[in-house]
Amino acid sequence: MRKYDNLVVNSIGKIVPSEVNGKPETPFQGVGKYIPEGRKYGAPISSCTNYPSDGNKLIDSLKESLIRAGLNDGMTISTHHHFRNGDLISNQLFDIAKELRVKDLIWFPSASFECNSYLIKYLEDGTIHHIEGSMNGPLGRFTSQGKMRGLGVLRSHGGRYQSVQDGEVHIDIAVIAAPTADFFGNANGVDGPAACGSLGFALADSQFADKVIVVTDHLVPFPCLPWQIQGNYVDFVVQSDKIGIPEKIISGTTEITKSPDRLFLADLTARFCEKAGIIKDGFSFQSGAGGISLAVSLYFKEIMIKKGIKARFARGGSNKHLVAMLEEGLIDYIIDGQTFDLDGVRSMRENPGHTWSSPFTSYNYHGKGNFAGLVDVVILGATEIDINFNANVVTHSDGYLLHGIGGWQNCLFSKTVILTVPLFRDRIPVIKENVTTICGPGELIDVIVTERGIAINPLRQDLIDLTLNSGLPIVPIQELKNLAEKICGKPNLPNFTNEPVAVVKWVDGTILDTIWQVNESTNFIP
Amino acid sequence: MRKYDNLVVNSIGKIVPSEVNGKPETPFQGVGKYIPEGRKYGAPISSCTNYPSDGNKLIDSLKESLIRAGLNDGMTISTHHHFRNGDLISNQLFDIAKELRVKDLIWFPSASFECNSYLIKYLEDGTIHHIEGSMNGPLGRFTSQGKMRGLGVLRSHGGRYQSVQDGEVHIDIAVIAAPTADFFGNANGVDGPAACGSLGFALADSQFADKVIVVTDHLVPFPCLPWQIQGNYVDFVVQSDKIGIPEKIISGTTEITKSPDRLFLADLTARFCEKAGIIKDGFSFQSGAGGISLAVSLYFKEIMIKKGIKARFARGGSNKHLVAMLEEGLIDYIIDGQTFDLDGVRSMRENPGHTWSSPFTSYNYHGKGNFAGLVDVVILGATEIDINFNANVVTHSDGYLLHGIGGWQNCLFSKTVILTVPLFRDRIPVIKENVTTICGPGELIDVIVTERGIAINPLRQDLIDLTLNSGLPIVPIQELKNLAEKICGKPNLPNFTNEPVAVVKWVDGTILDTIWQVNESTNFIP
């Protein structure tokens, strides 16, 4: 018996559920086509009468705070992922839920990491019903195997803010692990032993959750400044011995790649940007934390020094290389959603030009604009790209859900979007006829840079013209696909059952694609 | 014929309307007694689709932006008062409304100043229906004379945020004059020719208004940092030649009083705080911008230096004296809602320990606590105080409405509230049998300091005990009243008609008192 019968076809021809976890959903209607109606969600009105008159909201333990917050069956509990793989609180809170025999919780993290595969046992024993948020690695595989009771819901960082703001997701209890906080609940990520930089991913949670718990291992006297999280949204403050493992909070991906292939890719990307006239005085850019992206920044730096120009701003995730550019005067501002190393944390704490942002400012599509569209060029990756420039970042070619979306979808609104990818990985082509899952519609993706050539989206005739006699290896995307298949052979297609296990939302809350259960008995071995 | 028939008696025995400007209202029920239900107001959900993809929201003129914002009859239009008497935009926008023949607008400023008496002609010709916000000087007198069509609604700074957050006031169009802004609408008050420090009074307006217009005379390239107002809430940005008169933006009240009487009052207040054990290491205080309050800060400073202690924080309005204490290390932090002089502006721009706050963080009673309760001692003024410690800040003893509430009501939640007042002014007693208008319930007012003695509220036995053998002139409040009457004679009572002209709201949105039309034909001449 199928668990999901209500399937419809959306505007890009993908079959998606019209109902997810009991709630009706809107299928994707095209980029910019769905216009929301109605009003933002209004959290319950509080009264100071019900809070300590001296501002002291300290509670003895996380358990006690969860009880006082009314933890109960079926509630939605949110956490943030600023501690990445060093998170100690998310798992702990479900230990408490288990101890209290609470069932069927919905976990709504801003992302999950390897360390959270600890929670599989709670998905199995009924403590957690399902997860709405990125499911990297083992949690993703568990989901792809059809073992999670509810449907996973994958949202971009901006989409997560949008879903909470618009009332699509109602958070009963937000648990915000905070590297520094005061007894009133003001909190930040720039100080303390578990310093992680920003707390922006918890902003929506603080603003809209019914109950908000701040957990800290570094309590300071009021006022805790900066107050990235404002205590006026906070119900309880809990002191904990240790909220994160500092060495795991840092992503470990801020080393420049040493691979000649990847350095070549990065250099080619930078050269493309130079030839296309993107690297000019006052420009702006965003490149991620992976080895290739970091290398791109350094090639940008070389070009900027050569040209004697500087950038107006760079978007983080920040790292030591970006911070160096800020401190050397090559960038006026870093606008930063998350810091990827301790130099990033230090800089956010010290440099007025290094400012923390949030999914609200940067990515929320249901705001009056957001920062994404102001960025001149963004360099991203992908697991797969098809010949119509549609791209995938969540599943692999064997069908397994193994990654979250992060800010990837949101960044597609940048003025120029470049996906820098190898033509194939482990002899599996990256450029394909069709992608397993569409996370980004091709119309928003401008350039694909591979080691075998650069494909420009035909929609960007301006870029085609600008690079016409540049000496760069510009090729049709079809050629890249053919070349990949020539080297690797025609790729196998994953074998799915007809059961959805998760959905991919677009930035406007509509459903862009479905992730299907992998039929492990018949699937190919990658 | 009475205009207002729906009158009820509230919990402190005051007659108040049960309906104001067509909306039902809740009479005051006692401090902390009214518990709100329901949810915060949700502004309409926007979509990036409807905003410029490159973030450029510049519009040619304020007029054009008002037209595009849909300016229409009966709308509520909000402005902030950070420019004080140097505001050039509030008046200008109603000139435009007049030109466009729009009628019956409700003006919802965070406060009005002398310069806004320009708008009386628009109250008379029907462009403006009524004002909800403080009405100082001529606008207040106009109201007291019964000449405004609607009822004035006086709210504290916190009450204004509360009313917007709770949806009691729905702002159709917010016009935010911003000393610095970028084309996306990010804005601050710390830079530019009209620098005023914070823009916190416009926070609610930006968050909850249907349409938000930022007007600036100092446009900077994106990103405008700090973004005290976030562009993600902003619809249009307008460039204007001049938005404020810098020399009038500064309040002019930051000179220490030279009056021996007032210096004596300030010294007595500081000595009381010392004897009562309030001035101790790590304490916090707030004193206003008037001459006495400033002098209190300086006497505090002397005591702190003598004792070798420092304050954890001081609340602004900031001024050069407070800034000096911060920079000399006597105060760790200034938490500041508005800067009263250019040193305050400079410090907010330069000192990480000088942070801007907002009515949301500091004063909103319908939050999960606010900062007011964390302040150890606050020194305020009053126009009248009665023998039950009830106090008035909006009307004079002749009945005329001449002042706004500001943050005064909100500050009453401080741990110790001291009103420092002369026993009489112009031979009119300040301490009286009854006050003309109750703005603050006596139970929240702890100490009255006058030049003839200090009265302690019997509810504060702790303060009575602490100052028992202090040598300070502690007297029953009744004695102060008797002394005032002995000197000035029994005060005349104002002569009112039975028509309400305005209401005073409590911090929770309930109606605390009514301001009545002055019967000018029979009223005494003060």
Among A365, A438, A395, A382, CA closest to A27: A438
The one-letter code for the residue type at B302 is: E
- Find the residue in B nearest to A36 (Cα): B45
Cβ–Cβ gap B312/A370 under 8 Å: no
Angle at the Cα of B129 from the Cα atoms of B127 and B133, rounded to 5 degrees? 115
Give the strand pairing for A211-216 and A236-239.
parallel
- Which residues is A391 bridged to in the sheet? A385, A440
Cβ–Cβ gap A374/B222 under 8 Å: yes
Shared domain for B292 and B222, answered yes or no, is no
pLDDT digits (tens, 9 = 90+) for A427-444: 999 999 999 999 999 999
Shared domain for B332 and B366, answered yes or no, is yes
Q: Which of 288-347 (A) contact B at CB < 8 A? A: 312-313, 333, 335
- Which residues is B154 bridged to in the sheet? B504
Picking from A38, A230, A369, the nearest residue to B45 by CB comes out as A38
Q: Binning pLDDT at 50, 70 and 90, where does residue B252 land?
A: low
Q: Binning pLDDT at 50, 70 and 90, where does residue B521 land?
A: confident
Contact (Cβ atoms closer than 8 angstroms) between residue B403 and residue B136: yes
pLDDT digits (tens, 9 = 90+) for A235-271: 999 999 999 998 888 765 567 788 899 999 999 999 9
Shared domain for B292 and B201, answered yes or no, is no
pLDDT digits (tens, 9 = 90+) for B185-212: 999 999 999 999 999 999 999 999 999 9
Cβ–Cβ gap B42/A45 under 8 Å: no
Cβ contacts (< 8 Å) between B443 and chain A: which residues? Answer: none
Mean pLDDT of chain A: 95
Among A334, A343, A265, A350, CA closest to A299: A265
The one-letter code for the residue type at A345 is: V
Shared domain for A210 and A119, answered yes or no, is yes
Q: Is residue B18 part of a domain?
A: no
Cβ–Cβ gap A235/B368 under 8 Å: yes
Q: Is residue A307 part of a domain?
A: yes
Token pair recorded at residue A97? 């839920």
Distance from CA of B416 to the nearest CA of A (A): 12
Distances (CA, A) of A324 to A287, A318, A351, B223: 15, 10, 11, 20
- Find the residue in A nearest to B282 (Cα): A221
Cβ–Cβ gap A48/B282 under 8 Å: no
Residues B262 and B447: their CA atoms lie apart, in Å, by: 17
Shared domain for A218 and A323, answered yes or no, is no
Shared domain for B138 and B277, answered yes or no, is no
Q: What CATH number is attached to the domain comprising B271? A: 3.40.1080.10
**pLDDT over 70 percentage in chain B:** 98
Q: Is residue A14 part of a domain?
A: no
Residues B501 and B98: their CA atoms lie apart, in Å, by: 24
Residues A489 and A526: their CA atoms lie apart, in Å, by: 13
Shared domain for A342 and A424, answered yes or no, is yes
Among B23, B36, B105, B37, CA closest to B69: B105
Q: Is residue B50 part of a domain?
A: no
Q: Is B285 on the interface with A (CB under 8 A)?
A: no
- Chain B interface disruption, residue of A48, A54, A56, A410, most B CBs within 10 A: A48
Cβ contacts (< 8 Å) between B57 and chain A: which residues? Answer: 369
- Full DSSP string of A99-142: HTT---EEEEES---GGGGGGHHHHHTTSEEEEBS---HHHHHH
Picking from B40, B46, B232, the nearest residue to A42 by CB comes out as B40
Number of other CB atoms surrounding residue A24 within 10 Å:
9
Token pair recorded at residue A185? 């609940």
Shared domain for A362 and A419, answered yes or no, is yes
Distance from CA of B213 to the nearest CA of A (A): 12
Angle at the Cα of B216 from the Cα atoms of B215 and B219, rounded to 5 degrees? 130
Residue A189 DSSP label:
B
Q: Is the dihedral of CA B452, B457, B463, B465 positive or negative?
A: positive
Q: What's the pTM?
A: 0.97
Q: Which residue has the higher pLDDT, B136 or B361?
A: B361
Cβ–Cβ gap A45/B38 under 8 Å: yes
Shared domain for A98 and A197, answered yes or no, is yes
Residues B159 and B430: their CA atoms lie apart, in Å, by: 26
- Which residues is A189 bridged to in the sheet? A197
Picking from B42, B50, B57, the nearest residue to A40 by CB comes out as B42
Domain that residue B204 falls in? 56-249
Shared domain for B380 and B321, answered yes or no, is yes
Q: Is residue B23 part of a domain?
A: no
Distances (CA, A) of B251 to A264, A336, A512, B85, B328: 62, 37, 56, 8, 24
Cβ–Cβ gap A365/B48 under 8 Å: yes
Residues A497 and B516: their CA atoms lie apart, in Å, by: 76
Picking from B34, B52, B221, the nearest residue to A312 by CB comes out as B221
Q: What is the pLDDT of residue B4?
A: 65
- Full DSSP string of B186-207: -EEBSSSTT--B--GGGHHHHH
Residue A174's Cα: distance from chain center in Å?
A: 18
pLDDT digits (tens, 9 = 90+) for B407-458: 999 999 999 999 999 999 999 999 999 999 999 999 999 999 999 999 999 9
Name the residue with tokens 């310093």. A195
Instruction: Using the predicted structure, report yes or no on whether residue B511 has a pLDDT greater than 70.
Output: yes
Q: What is the pLDDT of residue B7?
A: 95
Distance from CA of A75 to the nearest CA of B (A): 19
Shared domain for B103 and B241, answered yes or no, is yes
Token pair recorded at residue A476? 């049709």
How many domains does the structure of chain A reveal? 2
Q: What is the pLDDT of residue B251?
A: 63
Among B79, B114, B111, B110, CA closest to B94: B79
Contact (Cβ atoms closer than 8 angstroms) between residue A73 and residue A102: yes
Q: Is residue B229 part of a domain?
A: yes
Q: Is B184 on the interface with A (CB under 8 A)?
A: yes
Q: Is B355 on the interface with A (CB under 8 A)?
A: yes
Helices (H), B417-476: 461-466
Q: Is residue B305 part of a domain?
A: yes
Cβ–Cβ gap A370/B232 under 8 Å: yes
Q: Is A4 on the interface with B (CB under 8 A)?
A: no
Instruction: Using the predicted structure, report yes or no on whether residue A424 has a pLDDT greater than 90.
Output: yes
Cβ contacts (< 8 Å) between A223 and chain B: which residues? Answer: 313, 333, 335, 355, 371
B/e letters for A471-502, b = 16+ CB within 10 Å, e = fewer, are ebebbebeebbebbbeebeebeebebeeebbb
Mean pLDDT, residues A361-383 taken together: 97
- Full DSSP string of A214-234: EEES-B-SSP-SS-SB-GGG-
Indicate the residue among A229, A249, A269 that finishes a domain: A249
Q: Which of 129-158 (A) contact B at CB < 8 A? A: none
Mean pLDDT, residues A278-288 taken together: 95
Token pair recorded at residue B173? 């169009």
Instruction: Using the predicted structure, report yes or no on whether residue B385 has a pLDDT greater than 80.
Output: yes
Q: Is A55 on the interface with B (CB under 8 A)?
A: yes
Instruction: Using the predicted structure, report yes or no on whether residue A1 has a pLDDT greater than 70.
Output: no
- Residues sharing a CB contact under 8 Å with residue B71, sequence separation 6 or more, in sequence order: B77, B96, B97, B100, B102, B173
In terms of residues, how long is chain A?
A: 526
Q: Is A40 on the interface with B (CB under 8 A)?
A: yes
Q: Is residue B47 part of a domain?
A: no
Indicate the residue among B214, B249, B284 that finishes a domain: B249
Contact (Cβ atoms closer than 8 angstroms) between residue A394 and residue A154: yes
**pLDDT over 90 percentage in chain B:** 90
Indicate the residue among B215, B249, B283 that finishes a domain: B249
Helices (H), A174-259: 203-208, 246-249
Q: Binning pLDDT at 50, 70 and 90, where does residue B256 land?
A: confident
Q: What is the pLDDT of residue B525?
A: 63
Instruction: Using the predicted structure, report yes or no on whether residue A2 has a pLDDT greater than 70.
Output: no
Mean pLDDT, residues B39-51 taken together: 98
Contact (Cβ atoms closer than 8 angstroms) between residue A254 and residue A287: no
Q: What is the pLDDT of residue B3?
A: 64
Residues B224 and B218: their CA atoms lie apart, in Å, by: 10
Mean pLDDT, residues B19-28 taken together: 96
Indicate the helix (H) or strand (E) that contains B428: strand B428-429
Q: What is the pLDDT of residue B1?
A: 44
Distances (CA, A) of A90 to A85, A134, A208, A477: 11, 14, 19, 43
Q: Is A476 on the interface with B (CB under 8 A)?
A: no
**pLDDT over 70 percentage in chain A:** 98
Indicate the helix (H) or strand (E) that contains B158: helix B157-165
Number of other CB atoms surrounding residue A308 within 10 Å:
7
Maximal CA-CA distance, chain A: 72
Cβ–Cβ gap A364/B47 under 8 Å: no
Shared domain for B447 and B362, answered yes or no, is yes
